Amino acid sequence: MVVDEPATESHLAAVLERPRAEVGAVLHGLAAEYTAQGRGFDLRLVAGGWRFYTRAECAEAVDRFVLDGQQARLTQAALETLAVVAYRQPVSRSRVSAVRGVNCDGVMRTLVQRGLVEETGSEPETGAILYRTTNYFLERMGLRGLEELPELAPFLPEVDDVEAESLEGTVIAEAVSAARAADDGDEAGREVR
């Protein structure tokens, strides 16, 4: 309860001078016991270690008590940027900006300040700084590792839909061009008369 980051089984085993397997088994047992008893907190394995969390049913009351109803939430731009970093890491700011279609420099600075994203080196070709998510990100998201990020495929449009939209756009563009050409021809004919 007093640690700032999730405590690893190996660290706890060293502190308690017990075998790691024994400590792991006890932690799993405690987590199951707390869930079965419906306690106001969970013991969860996240970001490579164990940490206590408020049970979802009690979160609103704890928020009122601790935060007095005020939370610093991420903006839509920050959430989008964080998602790009999480799924494409390590990634440069320019690549994130290209994916989002807008400059993300300020948003990236905010995510670094909040400890959700960190620098992780640079691209050999360009020298651009690369970014990745942190263990704090995993902890806040309740993930054990990046492999637990949900698959993106269900949220992406079907290829046929994208192609249809692209074809529809092409047909519309061709119709607009034809209409302009016809208007230009009519105007040229009027000028000659």
pLDDT at 193: 44
Residue 173 has pLDDT above 90, yes or no: no
Residue 91 has pLDDT above 80, yes or no: yes
Contact yes or no for 131/119 (Cβ under 8 A)? yes
pLDDT, tens only, 92-129: 999 999 988 888 888 999 899 889 999 999 999 999 99
Q: What residues have CB less than 8 Å from 11, skipping those under 6 apart?
A: 49
pTM for this prediction: 0.52
pLDDT at 190: 47
* The token pair that represents 61 in the structure block: 């009351």
Cα–Cα separations (whole angstroms), residue 20 to 6, 26, 44, 92: 16, 10, 17, 38
pLDDT at 65: 75
CA distance 147 to 135: 13
Name the least confident of 2-6, 35-39, 88-92: 2-6
By percentage, how much of the chain surpasses pLDDT 70?
75
When the pLDDT of each residue in the chain is averaged and rounded to a whole number, the result is 81
By percentage, how much of the chain surpasses pLDDT 90?
43
Q: What residues have CB less than 8 Å from 3, skipping those under 6 apart?
A: 51
Contact yes or no for 18/11 (Cβ under 8 A)? no
pLDDT at 155: 62
193 compared with 74, residue with greater pLDDT:
74
- What are the b/e assignments for 24-43, b being 16+ CB within 10 Å? beebeeebeebeeeeeeebb
Residue 70 has pLDDT above 60, yes or no: no
* The token pair that represents 90 in the structure block: 């390590």
